[in-house]
Amino acid sequence: MANKDMQTEVLAIMARHLAQSAIERPIDPEILSQAQTTINQALALQQQMLAGDLSSQQFQAHQGILLNALRVRLLSQGGVGRLWAQTLVNELADLLLK
Amino acid sequence: MVYRELSQLVALLLLSLLVASCSLVATAPYDAGTDKNLTKLHKQTAQFFVAAANPIDCDYRHYFDFYQTSSVALSGLLVRAKALPRNGVTVEQLLLLQSSFESLAKLHRLGCLSPVQVADVWRSFDTSFSAILRLELAKKG
């Protein structure tokens, strides 16, 4: 998938989850901000991989560390907000590993 | 008669409140061992990143001791965390941290870490350590 398509899809996922969370679940701006930073880092890594500066194995290991940190952070949150955020991260992880 | 019924009703209400308040305590109590060992592992990890940012030798084998020591430390933390009741969230966090250490070793085995990689990965590890410690310290209250 091209980087631009990936960015569009990431933004669509973020927007959908943000809309859902606004209706039925509490929003934690800190989590959203960290999710956005993580995704930006992962997209930068993907660009390095497409440019040939990084192998796919290196990409997977590195982005695995990034997403794990976000998941660990989310686990410190309580309740439904945490479950929603975990769903968001899992969807983004699936997308990045496509 | 009315007072007796009323007092029974109040007693029932208080009992319900007691049961409801007990159900809110869903996590393990604070564990000083986890706090101490995790802080120690964080220090070792920070020392590794400082060394990796300015390496004398960037090869994975040069850092083998660090990977071995951190693996043993995490195993100890997990055994302790699993032994505590209602500690599932901390266990899950430590499993994710263990997975991150494995990914770091894998990344390093594939080649020397660039300064950008070191900075990115260091930040991610700091986020993880802070979150686990934050939860542990919150159990104090």
ipTM of the complex: 0.79
Its domain, for residue B122, covers 27-138
Q: Total domain count for chain A?
A: 1
Asked if pLDDT for residue B18 goes beyond 50, the answer is no
Using the structure block, give the residue that is written with the tokens 């310290």: B137
In a domain, B19, yes or no: no
At residue B102, the pLDDT reads: 97
| Tokens (6 digits) for A31 | 């989590």
Number of domains within chain B: 1
Is A62 part of any domain?
A: yes
In this structure, is the dihedral angle defined by the CA atoms of residues B120, B126, B132 and B134, taken in order, positive or negative? negative
Window A:3-32, CB contacts with B under 8 Å:
none
**What is the nearest CA distance from A76 to chain B, expressed in angstroms?**
6
Is A97 in the B-facing interface, judged by CB distances under 8 Å? no
Q: What is the pLDDT of residue B10?
A: 53
Does any domain span residue A88? yes
Distance to chain A for B15, nearest Cα, Å:
25
In Å, how far is B111's CA from the nearest CA of chain A? 9
Work out the average pLDDT over A56-70.
90
Sort out which chain B residues have CB atoms less than 8 A from A61's CB and list them.
Answer: 103-104, 106-107, 110
pLDDT at B47: 97
CB of A64 less than 8 A from some CB of B: yes
Residue A83, pLDDT above cutoff 80: no
Structure-derived torsion over alpha carbons of residues B37, B135, A63, B116, reported in degrees to the nearest 10: -70
- CB-CB contact of B84 with B22 (8 Å): no
Element housing A20 (H / E):
helix A3-24
Residue B2 maps to a domain: no
Between residues B53 and A46, which one has the greater pLDDT? B53
Mean pLDDT in residue range A62-72: 89
pLDDT tens, position by position, B41-71: 999 999 999 999 988 899 999 999 999 999 9
Confidence of residue A10 (pLDDT cuts 50, 70, 90): low
Is the Cα dihedral A12, A17, A91, A40 positive or negative? positive
Q: What are phi and psi of A15, to 5 degrees?
A: -65, -40
Let me know if residue B103 belongs to a domain: yes
The reply to whether B111 touches chain A by the CB within 8 Å rule is yes
Residue at token pair 């940190």: A69
Q: Are A55 and A49 in contact (CB under 8 A)?
A: yes
Nearest CA in chain B to A58: B107
Task: Look at residue B34 and tell me if it is in a domain.
Answer: yes
Average pLDDT, rounded, for chain B? 87
Q: Which residue has the higher pLDDT, B3 or B116?
A: B116
Q: Least CA distance to A66: which residue of chain B?
A: B124
Q: What CA–CA distance (Å, rounded) separates A73 from A37?
A: 13
Q: Is the pLDDT of residue A48 over 50?
A: yes
From CA A92, how far away is CA A70, in angstroms rounded? 11
Residue A36 has pLDDT above 70, yes or no: yes
Q: Is B66 on the interface with A (CB under 8 A)?
A: no
B69 in any annotated domain: yes
Query: For residue B6, what pLDDT is reported?
Result: 53
Reply yes or no on whether the pLDDT at B80 is more than 90.
yes
In the predicted model, what is the mean pLDDT of chain A? 75
Asked if B106 and A73 come within 8 Å (Cβ–Cβ), the reply is no
Asked if residue B120 belongs to a domain, the reply is: yes
- Amino acid symbol at B36: K
**Any domain includes A18:** no
Domain residues for the domain of A75 are: 52-98
In a domain, B54, yes or no: yes
pLDDT of amino acid A49: 85
B115–chain A Cβ distance below 8 A for any pair: no
For residue A65, tell me if it sits in a domain: yes
